[in-house]
Structure 1
Amino acid sequence: MQIVFLDRDTLAPSVRLGRPACAHTWIEYPTTTPAQVVERLQGASVAIVNKVRLGAAELAALPALRLIVLAATGSDNVDLAACRERGIRVCNVQGYAGPSVPEHALALMLALARNLKGWQLSLAAGRWQESGRFCFFDHGIMDLAGRQLGIIGRGTIGRDLGRRAEALGLTVRYATSLRGGEPTPDRLPLGELLQSSDILSLHCPLTEQTRHLIGAAELAAMKPGALLINVGRGGLVDEQALLAALRSGHLGGAGFDVASQEPPPADHPLMQALALPNFILTPHVAWASAGAMQRLADQVIENIDAFTAGTPLRQLV
């Protein structure tokens, strides 16, 4: 069995990546461009990918491919319908990112609510010395306790974030399913969730239904001064509309760990927003604690072993 990992550099060098129990040949590449995919996977039975795209055209040119192991939870880079047609199994990794992603989301909330970036910019500009006092009041501070956190996505990460937020005194409400669902005391329709939440955090997958789920109209519906957190997928938010909402002052702040294009070019709306005191961007690292990356790597090997044993784990197709 030939196993090819197309983008090993999506995991830190310190992560221990074991080897499957079956007889195999292991090949790994630091990165792979779209033009290199078919050549590098020729003859491979198993492909391991994180961000490399495997579309219908690539899959059609790879008759030996039997298994795709996603070194991630999201599957928007793989054509699942084409895999199903060709009998190619697809497995992902699940549950590895807790507590890393919920803690990152909370860190962004706390930093924005306490206006830490604004204070640091003011200090760097000499405002403390200029004030002549023991403190100054250039930036507002929001207590999280007593506020409402709205969460879109009630999977493992969304629920883990909710539990941590409740421990800080936040009231947590979730969006009802986007495919429909009856409201409950803790689950609200999206429109109601937008209007009532002081903080909105996104934890749903990127699909055609959720692309630009938060656009200009949704941002306008949010409370003045509300905070928006996105550690899910960049395409969930219309980033140009986000920039406008931040510049206008309607949105109190935003903390993002993802972008619609990664890495974003210099003229990308999120890069333009970096100059604002109420915007924080991190480079898609919410998932990347040492523990989370090791759990991910372990599941990749588990998935291959389970497939070869005839008992696939975490199977999407």
Structure 2
Amino acid sequence: MTSTDEAATIVFLDRDTLSPETRLRAPAIPHRLDIFGRTDPGEVADRIRDAHIVVTNKVPLRREVLAQARRLRLVAVAATGTDVVDVAACAERGITVSNIRNYAVHTVPEHTFALIFALRRSITAYRDAVIRGAWQESGQFCFFDHPIRDLAGSTLGIVGDGVLGRAVAEIGRALGMRVLFAAYKGVEGMGPLYTPFDEVMRVSDVITLHCPLMPATRGLVGPREFALMERRPLLINTARGGLVDEAALVAALDAGQIGGAGFDVVTQEPPAADNPLMAAAARPNVILTPHVAWASQEAIQSLADQLVGNIEAFWAGRPRNCVAP
């Protein structure tokens, strides 16, 4: 373990991924802190070569780069997801990986329901119609160009039963929704608190994803799952883009298999111009936001405070929020 008397060299590779209003306090340990707004792939090895601690949000740290970091002891991920880090390679080299936990318990569920409300009641579609002059053209006090549905009495299917999934369930129940937690895809016998995955796809009016991206969940929702969706649900994704086959999503919208989509994430971020969701984003039943569900001012400040706390705890010999390979 690193001595508490030794000064830590800390490198933050992508400070610009946190809002400029966020206060990043100096760690209460002897240290040198080098902050970079962004780091391109070709710059990573040189910047971390002599670091004891590397902070990254979205800059990948792969095996070949980690092998060149001669003094690295901690990778402090400024996020919950650690898929940008080769955790197994870190373990082999005795490098601890920490992450941020439970900071988004309010902001992500609130954003999830902002998308649900906007789509279920066609808020953006009506706003656009008013801007185009449709209200004046209607000749009466209101018009009915887009569907409006209540949430009370509808079924909310949740994929992912962590802190965010449970918070979304609590809001859904408060709104009078029937809440179903999906069992793991293809897994039977998870107990009475879970509904088989395919059944959740079949009976839900709203399906929302709150699970991590890993080999078992990549492409979790694709053509097969869209074909199961008998109630033309809304599909909400504030988790990870790779959970959904994006081409299949657009095909499902075209075929009327789903009633709409609210996505805060895509497979590649920022999305390429030819990403299927970019063309679909102008549809009245699609809302695409730029991965900001996590990004309330309160949540980002909580993340920054926890990040510095993780660094201090590690240097004091009490590592926390450690991620296993």
TM-score (norm: length of structure 2): 0.95
Residue 100 in structure 1 maps to residue 107 in structure 2 = yes
Q: Distance in 1 between matches of 2:300 and 2:254?
A: 36
Q: Which residue of 2 aligns with 1:294?
A: 301
| Aligned-partner SS, 1:144 | coil
Q: 1:37 is matched by which residue type in structure 2? A: V
The one-letter code of the counterpart of 2:32 is T
1:177 deviation in Å? 3.3
Partner of 1:239: 246
Kept in 2, the 8 Å contact 1:231–1:256? The answer is yes
Q: Is 2:292 the partner of 1:285?
A: yes
Q: Aligned residue for 2:122?
A: 115
Residues 130/277 of structure 1: CA separation in 2 closer, same or farther (3 Å cut): same
Give yes or no for contact 1:20–1:301 (8 Å, CA) kept in 2: yes
Counterpart amino acid of residue 222 in structure 2: G
Matching of residue 157 in structure 1 with residue 164 in structure 2: yes
Alignment correspondent of 1:309: 316
Q: Does 1:141 align with 2:148?
A: yes
Q: CA deviation at 1:183?
A: 4.3
Q: What letter matches 1:145 in structure 2?
A: A
Q: CA deviation at 1:125?
A: 2.6
Q: Which of 279-288 and 215-224 deviates more?
A: 215-224
CA contact (8 A) 2:186 2:197 kept: no
- Structure 1, 39-48 or 263-272: larger mean CA deviation: 263-272
- 2:310 maps to a residue whose letter is N
The match for 2:132 among 110, 117, 125 is 125
CA drift at 1:179: 8.0
Q: Would you say the 8 A contact 2:203–2:231 is kept in 1?
A: no
Which string of whole-angstrom CA distances, capped at 9 and with x for unpartnered residues, describes residues 210-249 of structure 1?
Answer: 1110001111111342100000000000001111111222
Structure 2: which amino acid aligns with 1:28? I
Residues 1-317 of structure 1 mapped to structure 2, 5 A cutoff: 1-178=8-185, 180=187, 182-317=189-324
Q: Supply the distance in 2 between the matched residues of 1:211 and 1:148 (Cα, whole angstroms).
A: 25
Q: 1:124 to 1:249 in 2, by over 3 A?
A: farther
- Kindly indicate whether the alpha-carbon contact (under 8 Å) linking 1:55 and 1:79 is maintained by their aligned counterparts in 2: yes
Please give the per-residue CA displacement for 1:108-157, whole angstroms capped at 9, x wherever unaligned.
Answer: 00000001122122223322222211111111111000111011111111
Q: CA deviation at 1:178?
A: 4.5
Report the residue type matching 2:264 in the other structure. D
Q: Percent identity?
A: 51
* Counterpart amino acid of residue 241 in structure 1: A
More deviation, 182-191/29-38: 182-191
Note the C-alpha offset of 1:97: 0.6
1:84/1:270 Cα in 2 relative to 1: closer, same or farther (>3 Å)?
same
Letter in 2 for 1:168: L
Gaps of 5+ in 2: 1-7
CA contact (8 A) 1:172 1:186 kept: no
* Structure 1 residue 160: Cα displacement: 0.7
C-alpha displacement of 1:73 = 0.1
Conservation of the 8 A alpha-carbon contact between 1:198 and 1:223: no
What is the number of residues matched between the two proteins?
A: 317
Q: Is the 8 A contact 2:185 2:198 kept in 1?
A: no
The CA distance in 1 between the partners of 2:185 and 2:323, in whole Å, is 20
Unaligned runs of 5+ in 1: none
TM-score normalized with structure 1 length: 0.97
Amino acid at match of 1:32: T
